[in-house]
Structure 1
Amino acid sequence: MKRLVAVSVIMILLLTSCTFNIGSNDPEAKNWELIVKSAEKSMVTIAIEHTNPLVSEWFKGDYSKYMKANYDIDVTIIEQSILKTMDKLVGDKAGEVTFGDIDIILIENEGFKNAYNRGLLYGPFSDKLPNVKQNLDMRSLNMTSREGIKTNGYSVPYSRSQLSFIYNQDVFYETPTNFSDLIQLIKQNKNRFTYPDPRVTKEGEAFIFSILSEYIDFEDFLLENFDRVAFGEAITPGIDRLIELKPYLFENGTKYPQTIRALDDLFINGALMMSLSMQYNYVTDKLREYEYPENASTFIIPTGVATYDEIAAIAFNSPNKSGAMVALDALLSPAMQASKYNPRVWGSLPVYDAGVVPSTSLEGFTAMRLRSTTVGFNAFMNAVMPQFSPEMRAVVLERWEKDVLSSTDE
């Protein structure tokens, strides 16, 4: 019954202008108060599939406790493949099931475009969430686009990872501040750098994405009507740069490590001066385990590094849409973004935007004590790049294999 009341309230709020006299005089604030009130003592079900087991543990632990303590909402986690979740929603849609079993869908990689185009999602809702309006840039491409289509307010980012560079300060101390300087450093230390195969590793993919991004106007290719030919032309200068770099790579660029572990081993034994990671605290963890050289540290390129956001959406037939919105707003709260940022808990970067988020929302991050071998969250926030769509990725990898991998020295 509680779920039916919550659904009724949310539909009224989204379709009409509410003038109830509760608390704030701001109509939007009043509406949100009603949404929060209607979600009390309810249950929110979240469908999760993730490659990192710490994610489910965090949702079942810190996040669920936070929701219960602050909103009296019970969180239920369903661990199943995104394919199974989508199949269930497709069946519900065909059977005209008004109230389903799932409220929130977490999407680590792909799935939004298919779900959105098939009418499996509820929205728009993102502009209703106070923490979105306060801490995120609602006009940024990572907010307005996903998988090459407009999100139209049907999703929110909740977790982020970005590329970082690992280096040995015994080899060089001053770190490059742009990719031109990085390439010059690589040329000065011939055969002491490489990147893993971008076709099979996210780190390798992220490296070439970071190089190519300087030549791309993302807005031209992320907001629907992807032009494969135009994109291919746009990335050609970046592809040429990778070809130029190839003879300076380890083994003259004839072989690329097939795993990040293989790349790491080359760094650890001194064959390489750098490694790569998508985990911001990776070096500190490796130093703690005595696996890395004692003077290993981390840097990023301030002008921008490849960025990957994970997103959350609401099922079209969520039985508790108000509870789902409250749950997602809580997920974007400073308390929860800082909680998952803790490397001992999860180690996920915040999805906040540097030009928008107030300093008060960052207090939990600044209070967290991390070693100097870890790049700070502020540096990562300032180096966010738009995320490549699957279509863009396919073209990049095809060109890399055809033009870079197959190229030979003249």
Structure 2
Amino acid sequence: MLRSLVVFLLLTTAAAADTADGEALKAMTWDEIVEQARGGTVNWFMWGGADNINAYVSDYVAAVLKRDHDITLNRVPITDAAEVVNLVLTEKEAGITDSGSVDLIWINGENFRSMKQADLAFCGYTDLLPNNALVNWDNPAIANDFGVPVDGCEVPWNTVQFAFAHDSATLPDPPQDMAALIDWIKANPGRFTYPAPPDFTGSVFVRHVFYHAAGGPDALLGPFDQATFDVVAARTWAILNEIEPFLWRGGATYPTTITQLNELFANGEVAFTFNYDSAQFGIAVQAGIYPDTVRSFGLTDGTIGNTNYTLIPFNSPNKAAAMVVQNVLLSGEAQLEKARTEVWGAAPAIEITRTTPEVQAGFAAIKGHPSVVPSEELARAALPELQADWLVAIEEGWKANVGN
């Protein structure tokens, strides 16, 4: 499906390829880059599972780019960024170094690590973006993506933190920490499940259990340690296998995507859903998918937060235009628009205090949705992401020891 879509794009998109290569672009002024980008097309491969996010990109962002820069933004929906990483790698192995199919990717975590290690990312240009000045690169959570230094190879877009959602009309007092949640699952057969890794939301739920089994993340931070992993993983698989018979459908099957879990929650088949982006709960209530009584919450022992980014592949033929897209995405105006609860409710990746007074006033005027736990409340118990090697080992271990 993805490959046929790429072929269609290559055959039908009249994209104006950059005449300058990456190194030449890095020697230009920003005004020269903007002129180089004019009239270009950017094929942005990004997760397409949320209608409001799709609308923000296809309507608001695309309109700004067309109006101000005569750039056409082509949003290409995908289910997993790993598909695009493999596509770019395949192109590199085929010797396609300046006419790739992908101009921009929404990415983070192990997929970024894979692209960086394989030299698949365009790097060393981010200081050229005027709106890069709005980013606090002194923040380790921004400067490192799942423990991997960004090194000018990607541009932050949003910050997120995991949260659970429940219907307060049917479950007024949800469990408040992981130990209590595990007990609740066993006491309420069939009312809980999670997507099977490598779905990124299912994977982060498993990591929360992994942290719980480790007594917290402190012993897991830093480079991957096989001996520590073996001890903690054994405890984790024991917990997950113990609760499996009490899951939805007796644990005989797992949802494969977060979309499927959301549908089970909307239909009342399970009592919880969860997401890295708690704003999605409010959007679902506004759309009439969830009842008004849905509320979201973190855990007293913490939930995992991270930053997500956009990345330009090394062989994008439209690097200048992709850089302009990234600069627009970083702007105070674009970050404010997606922070509005009726649009997306996304947390900004920039320092609001570095924006204009008008943008700061806009952020101050935003009123949170009652179904969305305030980000400030979540942040009081924020947990760090592990380095990517841990993620790979946990996902593979789950498949071998639980998902089998």
TM superposition score normalised by structure 2 = 0.69
What corresponds to 2:202 in structure 1? Answer: 204
Tell me whether 1:168 sits opposite 2:160 in the alignment: no
Paired residue for 1:48, among 38, 44, 50?
44
Quick one: structure 1 residues 142 and 235, their matched pair in 2 at CA, closer, same or farther if it must change by over 3 Å?
farther
Q: Indicate if the aligned counterparts of 1:161 and 1:348 stay in contact, CA closer than 8 A.
A: no
Quick one: structure 1 residues 327 and 201, their matched pair in 2 at CA, closer, same or farther if it must change by over 3 Å?
closer
Q: Which amino acid aligns with 2:151?
A: N
The Cα shift of 1:52 comes to 0.9
C-alpha distance in structure 1 between counterparts of 2:22 and 2:268, whole Å: 60
The Cα shift of 1:91 comes to 5.0
What corresponds to 2:217 in structure 1? Answer: 215
Paired residue for 1:258, among 252, 255, 280?
255
The Cα shift of 1:331 comes to 1.1
Tell me whether 1:126 sits opposite 2:126 in the alignment: yes
The Cα shift of 1:106 comes to 1.0
C-alpha distance in structure 2 between counterparts of 1:7 and 1:254, whole Å: 50
Map Cα deviations across residues 267-304 of structure 1 (whole Å, 9 max, x no partner). Answer: 56766543334553444455456554553322223654
The Cα shift of 1:144 comes to 2.1
Tell me the SS of whatever aligns to 1:50. strand
RMSD between aligned residues: 4.5
Q: Indicate if the aligned counterparts of 1:48 and 1:56 stay in contact, CA closer than 8 A.
A: no
What corresponds to 2:299 in structure 1? Answer: 301
Tell me the SS of whatever aligns to 2:169. coil
The Cα shift of 1:373 comes to 1.2
Quick one: structure 1 residues 397 and 216, their matched pair in 2 at CA, closer, same or farther if it must change by over 3 Å?
farther
**Percent identity of the aligned residues?**
18
Quick one: structure 1 residues 107 and 264, their matched pair in 2 at CA, closer, same or farther if it must change by over 3 Å?
closer
Q: Which amino acid aligns with 1:105?
A: L
Matches within 5 A, 1:223-242: 226-239=224-237, 241-242=239-240
Q: Which amino acid aligns with 2:373?
A: V
Quick one: structure 1 residues 263 and 108, their matched pair in 2 at CA, closer, same or farther if it must change by over 3 Å?
same
The Cα shift of 1:67 comes to 3.6
What corresponds to 2:140 in structure 1? Answer: 140
C-alpha distance in structure 2 between counterparts of 1:218 and 1:125, whole Å: 32
Quick one: structure 1 residues 228 and 105, their matched pair in 2 at CA, closer, same or farther if it must change by over 3 Å?
farther
Tell me the SS of whatever aligns to 1:195. coil
Matches within 5 A, 1:268-279: 272-278=270-276
Q: Indicate if the aligned counterparts of 1:280 and 1:374 stay in contact, CA closer than 8 A.
A: yes
Tell me whether 1:62 sits opposite 2:60 in the alignment: yes
Q: Which amino acid aligns with 2:34?
A: A
Tell me the SS of whatever aligns to 1:124. coil
Tell me whether 1:350 sits opposite 2:347 in the alignment: yes
TM superposition score normalised by structure 1 = 0.68
Larger of the two Rg values belongs to structure: 1
C-alpha distance in structure 2 between counterparts of 1:66 and 1:286, whole Å: 26
Q: Which amino acid aligns with 1:35?
A: W
C-alpha distance in structure 2 between counterparts of 1:291 and 1:93, whole Å: 44
Give the paired residue count: 371
What corresponds to 2:152 in structure 1? Answer: 153
C-alpha distance in structure 1 between counterparts of 2:310 and 2:285, whole Å: 34
Map Cα deviations across residues 130-178 of structure 1 (whole Å, 9 max, x no partner). Answer: 54453444452564245x7543221123245553312122344455554
Paired residue for 1:195, among 193, 196, 200?
193
C-alpha distance in structure 2 between counterparts of 1:6 and 1:381, whole Å: 41
Quick one: structure 1 residues 357 and 227, their matched pair in 2 at CA, closer, same or farther if it must change by over 3 Å?
farther
151-160 or 112-121, larger mean C-alpha shift: 112-121
Tell me the SS of whatever aligns to 2:347. coil
The Cα shift of 1:79 comes to 3.8
Quick one: structure 1 residues 318 and 138, their matched pair in 2 at CA, closer, same or farther if it must change by over 3 Å?
farther
What corresponds to 2:369 in structure 1? Answer: 371
Quick one: structure 1 residues 69 and 117, their matched pair in 2 at CA, closer, same or farther if it must change by over 3 Å?
same
Tell me whether 1:35 sits opposite 2:33 in the alignment: no
C-alpha distance in structure 1 between counterparts of 2:390 and 2:346, whole Å: 24
Quick one: structure 1 residues 7 and 254, their matched pair in 2 at CA, closer, same or farther if it must change by over 3 Å?
closer
Quick one: structure 1 residues 283 and 329, their matched pair in 2 at CA, closer, same or farther if it must change by over 3 Å?
closer
